[in-house]
Amino acid sequence: MFFKTFLLLFTQFVIAAELKPATYFEIHGLHVRDFTLSVDGQEFYTTMESIGKDASQIIKLKKTPTGWSEPEIASFSGQFKDLEPFLHPNGLQLFFASNRNLEQSAATEQFDIWMVERTTSNDDWGKPIKLNEHINTPDANEFYPSVSNNGNLYFTASKNNGLGKEDIYVSRLIDGQYSQAEILPETVNTATYEFNTYISPDEKILLFSSFGRQDGMGGGDLYLSHRVNDEWQQAQNLGDQINSKQLDYCPFYDAKAQTLYWTSARSQLKSMDDQPKNYQQWLKLYTTGENGLSKIYSTKISLAQ
């Protein structure tokens, strides 16, 4: 089956308080989720995922004189279920979640956080390394890594001693080693689901998804918390100009360009049944636009406090 890849690059402006979310990247017929962009804007990584979500691979695209390159499978991916890539701000480390075993010889039923390294941004990635037991545990899934300038790692885990069904944790990099992970406070985590966090390089902005809150709009919304005097402030819903009735998740923020990227499975198909349509008309609706498949969206927005 042939899937045509579309890259939609655009310039957007915030007019008054109105935001203009638009599709940034999609692959027809597949889910596309997760987004991480290098600081110099020369490469980004994302995840392509099967319709049934039983297979996923990390793909990369590089900037060329005419736009973005064609997608290709990242050198460390392509065999196991890999997803949720995140580039360290230095561009020399990339973290991701995978269901591979320690020997990288077979898949497991559990997800852990892994890392690859390179010497320069022009080099190939080295062999994946599984992070230590202060992050990866035998009785829980660890997902969605995000790293600040100083190497502190924020991630999602479903632990028995957590506040909710899924929570956000941080493991601090001390003398080159990751310390015991700590759960973030109740200004961030709740008794429901908190997951897929983005931490800014300076550790002052935290973006994440949450499902089940009273101010939620649907299948999961994006929330924002600022760190003030070393304390995370009460997280706020980013509102209905960004969040939809479906799942909105996997945020990434480019502060220099003041651009928010995120994944959304939003759909407008229910609003399209106002009158009968033929096969070709419905086929177009099913395969383009907001059709319920996860895609990467972006909008211009300032998240500064």
- In this structure, are residues 261 and 35 in contact, taking their beta carbons and an 8 Å threshold? yes
* 24-52 pLDDT, tens digit each: 999 988 999 999 999 999 999 999 999 99
Q: Domain for residue 177, yes or no?
A: yes
Q: Domain for residue 186, yes or no?
A: yes
* 212-256 pLDDT, tens digit each: 999 999 899 999 999 999 999 999 999 999 999 999 999 999 999
Return the closest-CA partner of residue 182 out of 130, 235, 231, 135.
135
A 10 A CB-CB count for 259 gives 16
- In this structure, are residues 253 and 232 in contact, taking their beta carbons and an 8 Å threshold? no
**Which residue range forms the structural domain that includes residue 295?**
5-300
Structure tokens that stand for 227 in this block:
């760190």
Q: At 66, which CATH number?
A: 2.120.10.30
Q: Domain for residue 29, yes or no?
A: yes
By percentage, how much of the chain surpasses pLDDT 90? 84
- In this structure, are residues 22 and 8 in contact, taking their beta carbons and an 8 Å threshold? yes
How many CA within 13 A on the CB side of residue 225? 24
Q: Domain for residue 152, yes or no?
A: yes
Q: Domain for residue 253, yes or no?
A: yes
Q: Domain for residue 305, yes or no?
A: no
Q: How many domains does the chain have?
A: 1
